[in-house]
């Protein structure tokens, strides 16, 4: 049996350093919101494989569905011999997505691929090239999506040039003093300076900024984006890769605002731990590309589709949307207590939507200077004490919660206890 130390040494020789790992441990076994490493240490998992496990590690229904599918066929390529689970999942997603218009769904494998395809579809549907994304947005690491991802280090460092006709508008950020009005003015200025609106195919936005810091888009902003898109014939794409499937207490985070997007990108928690992603959209828009224009060898893998159908059923049967709303309220209240007690004037902001919650650390309340080093120490102390955490934010100074919605109150409380101890240790 290999130890963490042995695997760390082997990895250094075998895997490029560009693939960084947040925790210097190696997984052995995981169940619901707990994970054990190869040295036998137990961790409470507040990360869920980066927001993939809203239904927890190895949800029994998900595993049973995947195993049953494995006994029939695991791959035929939907473009050669199609299969029912793809259709069934597409129907389910079309029904879940907001808006009254008929919908269609394309399935692919990764979030970045979903975003790439949403852009292709929007371009084909509008006959226009331009794409507008936002400061701090994260849409993936492929070259087109990197052009849209709004953060240089580490993602974009040294790998340009990026595709043309991608523009950036300001994200409304209380931390940076950017109001909704400022953000909309920035977008309108962009139309005057760089992005001719009749040449813009899509505006893409995360309804809750994910990697960029778990900042919800104010509903008013979302409504204004919808209006601007309608006015200029631009497609509104909601990137729900991280916020979707119950994380915020709705199937899709944009539903909180009441705005209907033209296209939605999905991945992560849709399939409960299997690689699957998709684009859901208005049927007329989705049909813009000619036959053969969409797809990929593995797109909509049948085992992943079966897992997704089971994960969606688990979210429905176990009331996980309501669970997310309740958990979010509880987390926010507990974080406020912990901040006041164990890190006075360090925990500057507690924010989020449903259980998509983050806490932001600063050097002090007077200057509110982001403190990425403090955040790193909190995460390291938490790991030592048996809690997996991940940062987010442009300055890496926020800790985000992506704990399975299936986690028990006891496990959440145990995790919060470790979090408090880690914060106290980071202050000391």
Nearest Cα neighbor of 203 from 220, 216, 215, 221 is: 221
* Smallest gap from residue 140 Cβ to ligand PMP (A): 4
User: How far apart, in whole angstroms, are the C-alpha atoms of residue 136 and residue 149?
Assistant: 7
Q: Does 267 bind ligand PMP (CB under 6 A)?
A: yes
Q: Does 116 bind ligand PMP (CB under 6 A)?
A: no
What phi-psi label fits residue 75: left (phi over 0), alpha (psi between -120 and 50 degrees) or beta?
A: beta
- Enumerate residues 21-50 that contact ligand PMP by CB under 6 A: 50
Q: Who's near 389: CB < 8 A, 6+ residues apart?
A: 46, 47, 378, 379, 382, 383, 399, 419, 422
| Stretch of 83-91, 104-112, 284-292, 391-399 contacting ligand PMP, by CB under 6 A | 104-112
* Smallest gap from residue 424 Cβ to ligand PMP (A): 30
Q: Does 111 bind ligand PMP (CB under 6 A)?
A: yes
Is residue 374 within 8 Å of 354, Cβ to Cβ?
no
Kindly give the residue spans of alpha helices, DSSP state H, lying in 251-319.
283-286, 302-317
Element (H, E) at 31: strand 27-31
* Smallest gap from residue 96 Cβ to ligand PMP (A): 18
Between 115 and 310, CB nearer to ligand PMP: 115
* Smallest gap from residue 275 Cβ to ligand PMP (A): 8
Between 57 and 377, CB nearer to ligand PMP: 57
Stretch 123-152: interaction string toward ligand PMP, x if CB under 6 A: ---------------xxx------------
Phi, psi of 205 (to 5 degrees): -145, 145
* Smallest gap from residue 210 Cβ to ligand PMP (A): 4
Q: Who's near 403: CB < 8 A, 6+ residues apart?
A: 33, 44, 45, 46, 47, 48, 327, 355, 412, 415
* Smallest gap from residue 145 Cβ to ligand PMP (A): 7
* Smallest gap from residue 208 Cβ to ligand PMP (A): 9
Q: Does 115 bind ligand PMP (CB under 6 A)?
A: yes
User: Binding residue for ligand PMP (CB under 6 A) from 69, 110, 397, 406?
Assistant: 110
Between 92 and 141, CB nearer to ligand PMP: 141
Element (H, E) at 385: helix 372-385
- Enumerate residues 193-232 that contact ligand PMP by CB under 6 A: 206, 210-211
Bridge-based pairing state of the strands 347-353 and 200-205: unpaired
Q: Does 299 bind ligand PMP (CB under 6 A)?
A: no
User: Binding residue for ligand PMP (CB under 6 A) from 126, 224, 242, 397?
Assistant: 242
Between 239 and 420, CB nearer to ligand PMP: 239
| Stretch of 109-117, 124-132, 183-191, 411-419 contacting ligand PMP, by CB under 6 A | 109-117
What single string gives the DSSP state of each residue in 196-246? -GGGEEEEEE-SB-TTTT-PBPPHHHHHHHHHHHHHHTPEEEEE-TTTTTT
User: How far apart, in whole angstroms, are the C-alpha atoms of residue 54 and residue 57?
Assistant: 9
Between 204 and 286, CB nearer to ligand PMP: 204
Q: Who's near 377: CB < 8 A, 6+ residues apart?
A: 425, 426
Is residue 96 within 8 Å of 269, Cβ to Cβ?
no
Instruction: Note the residues at the interface with ligand PMP (CB under 6 A).
Output: 50, 110-112, 115, 138-140, 206, 210-211, 239, 241-242, 267
């Amino acid at each position: 049996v290999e130890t963490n130390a042995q695997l760390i040494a082997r990895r250094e020789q075998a895997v490029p350093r560009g693939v960084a790992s947040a925790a210097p441990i190696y997984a052995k076994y995981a169940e619901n919101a707990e994970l054990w490493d190869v040295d036998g240490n137990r961790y409470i998992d507040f990360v869920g494989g980066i927001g993939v496990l809203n239904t927890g590690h190895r949800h029994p229904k998900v595993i049973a569905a995947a195993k049953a599918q494995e006994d029939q066929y695991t791959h035929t390529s939907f473009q050669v011999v199609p299969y029912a689970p793809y259709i069934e999942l597409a129907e389910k997603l079309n029904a879940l997505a907001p808006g009254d218009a008929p919908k269609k769904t394309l399935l692919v494998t990764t979030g970045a691929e979903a975003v790439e395809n949403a852009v292709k579809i929007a371009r084909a549907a509008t006959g226009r090239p331009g794409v507008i994304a936002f400061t701090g947005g994260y849409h993936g690491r492929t070259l087109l999506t990197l052009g849209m991802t709004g953060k240089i280090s580490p993602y974009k460092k040294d790998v340009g040039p990026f595709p043309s006709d991608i523009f950036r508008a300001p994200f409304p950020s209380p931390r940076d003093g950017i109001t909704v009005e400022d953000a909309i003015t920035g977008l309108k200025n962009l139309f005057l300076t760089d992005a001719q609106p009749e040449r813009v195919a899509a505006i893409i936005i995360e309804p809750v900024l994910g990697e960029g810091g778990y900042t919800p888009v104010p509903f008013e902003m979302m409504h204004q984006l919808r209006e601007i898109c309608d006015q200029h014939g631009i497609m509104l794409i909601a990137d729900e890769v991280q916020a979707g499937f119950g994380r915020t207490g709705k199937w899709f985070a944009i539903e909180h605002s009441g705005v209907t997007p033209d296209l939605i990108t999905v991945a992560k928690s849709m399939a409960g731990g299997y690689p699957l992603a998709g684009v859901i959209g208005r049927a007329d828009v989705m049909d813009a590309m000619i036959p053969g224009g969409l797809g990929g060898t593995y797109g909509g893998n049948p085992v992943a589709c079966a897992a997704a159908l089971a994960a969606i059923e688990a979210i429905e049967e176990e009331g996980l949307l309501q669970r997310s709303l309740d958990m979010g309220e509880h987390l926010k209240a507990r974080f406020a207590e912990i901040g006041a007690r164990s890190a006075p004037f360090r925990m500057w902001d507690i924010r989020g939507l449903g259980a998509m919650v983050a806490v932001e650390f600063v050097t002090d309340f007077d200057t509110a200077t982001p403190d990425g080093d403090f955040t790193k120490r909190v995460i390291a102390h938490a790991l030592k004490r048996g809690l997996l955490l991940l940062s987010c934010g442009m300055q890496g100074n926020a800790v985000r919660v992506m704990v399975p919605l299936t986690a028990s109150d006891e496990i959440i409380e145990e995790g919060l206890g470790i979090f408090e101890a880690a914060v106290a240790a980071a202050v000391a």
